[in-house]
A and B are shown apart, each in its own frame.
Chain A
């Protein structure tokens, strides 16, 4: 009789999604696991593919702005901004200063709202139920401000090629200014609540790390890249709109792990509020919010332009090809989340199965952005 039986390692195939509660949308991945370790990951996307790029070719320019709202649905203003600026670049439009300041204020507030959402979701992914409540409390104030300005809490459809749909309501400056101290305090509370929590550190420190060189190779951008130690922020390296007028810091990480990605975003919220404060101070009290001589149905001249903005999730790019008609010839959207998901197999290599939810949460993907 055999006394010692050797146990052969067996690789098990585990399916996660598309209806898993912590996948932040409809996202599916298949894991090959060896015991508790992940050997290989295959992400499956496309459950939310609406063919936005193709749809754009059949719509008029002002209609397309509504489609961009629906890409990254946590950063609507940022998406709208990128598309409008791509067309403005092609048309050589000079947007009035007041409109530009309003855009910056709204985009930065949107960034804070988006990062608060990330903060709450990552806490949930790591098993902390409380942070999301505080994050949403703060986020609600920003949503109310958005509603006052654009009439909608999401899908604002507020920016136009050449400026804004209409001027901001009276008392906009005061409204946002009154918001800031509360937000700053709220972010500090959130920071104290979770950042150095022992259990949270154990779940995130050293998990899913990526080096700076690899992060660049994988075309990661935004907080993902900065967490790996590359100070690449489009607002600073290639300033667009008015971002060269503000004084702000670019937080970077050292390890490129989940905790760094988290911490970079927390610090970014503070920097965004700094920008908002400066923008409110510099903003002219009155003036036009629409460039002169822009037609209701703009027709950019024949040509092409590539515009990129720093979205909360990274570099959002629009490659616009125009044939001179009132509909674009081709719109290519470079989505930051798309590149982030692509790196997931690399990030998850040799992680535990339990970590995969945390790593996915730290990517901060929005599936509307990934699938387009």
Chain B
């Protein structure tokens, strides 16, 4: 895998039972495209797209699975909290559409190039990004 991804200067590490690829935010879309298209890897299934708020940075995490090779991999990118922007992966996996909409709504991440980045889960007119750590959990007055 390191061969295929070398041009993106990734940082490869290992989690519990997964390989973790950490790349620069700007490289996410091209990395994912390569991971999906390379005949040696073929990560064609997007399992999960999550955002984790580490206060000073937001981390976008992509869990991928290869139907043919039965392999899994995790792609991560750290975004600055002041300007969380990352290229969309909808052209790579169609199923990323709603996952990105949800992440944009709850965490305020901008997915550049997303075809339809409107709110999905919260009511119209809701202000703020409730997924963020700075958003209170319990002392939030709804009415």
Contact = CB atoms under 8 A, between A and B. Distances in A.
Nearest to B48: A334
Interface residues of A, number: 41
B84 interface: no
Interface in B11-38: 15-16, 18
B117 interface: no
Nearest to A334: B48
A329 B16 CA distance: 17
Contacts of A89: 16
12 contacts: A54-B137, A89-B16, A218-B94, A219-B45, A219-B96, A219-B99, A220-B95, A303-B16, A304-B15, A306-B74, A332-B50, A332-B51
B137 A216 contact: no
A319 B95 contact: no
B69 to A, nearest CB: 11
A55 interface: yes
Most buried by A among B74, B121, B137: B121
Contact of A57 (B67, B97, B137): B137
Nearest to A346: B94
Q: State the 9 A-B residue pairs at the shortest beta-carbon distance, nearest first.
A: A219-B95, A332-B50, A58-B137, A46-B121, A334-B48, A49-B121, A217-B94, A342-B98, A218-B95
Nearest to A230: B67
Contacts of B106: 53-54
A180 interface: no
B18 A45 contact: no
A119 interface: no
Contacts of A342: 95, 97-98
Interface of B: 15-16, 18, 44-48, 50-53, 61, 63, 67, 70, 74, 93-99, 106, 120-123, 130-131, 135, 137-138
Given A90-B16, A332-B52, 15 more contacts: A49-B122, A217-B93, A218-B94, A219-B46, A219-B94, A230-B67, A305-B16, A315-B47, A317-B63, A319-B63, A329-B52, A330-B50, A332-B51, A332-B61, A343-B95
Contacts of B48: 306, 317, 319, 332, 334
A45 B123 CA distance: 10
Given A219-B47, A306-B48, A330-B52, A338 B98 contact: yes
A218 B122 CA distance: 23
Interface in A298-319: 303-306, 308, 315, 317, 319
A237 B47 CA distance: 14
A275 interface: no
Given A334-B47, A342-B95, A342-B98, A216 B63 contact: no
Contacts of B122: 46, 49
A245 B17 CA distance: 21
Contacts of B50: 319, 330, 332, 334
User: Which of A305, A306, A317, A339 is the most central at the interface, judged by chain B CB atoms within 10 Å of its CB?
Assistant: A306
Contacts of B137: 54-55, 57-58
A238 interface: yes
A239 B78 CA distance: 31
B70 A46 contact: no
A308 B16 contact: no
B46 to A, nearest CB: 5
A217 B51 CA distance: 21
Interface string A101-117: 00000000000000000
Given A317-B63, A319-B61, A319-B63, A53 B131 contact: yes
Interface in A52-81: 53-55, 57-58
A232 B93 contact: no
Nearest to B63: A306
B53 A330 contact: yes
A319 B76 CA distance: 13
A216 B70 contact: no
Contacts of A303: 15-16
B95 A339 contact: yes
A367 B98 CA distance: 15
Contacts of A49: 121-122
A371 B105 CA distance: 13
Nearest to A318: B48
A53 B105 CA distance: 14
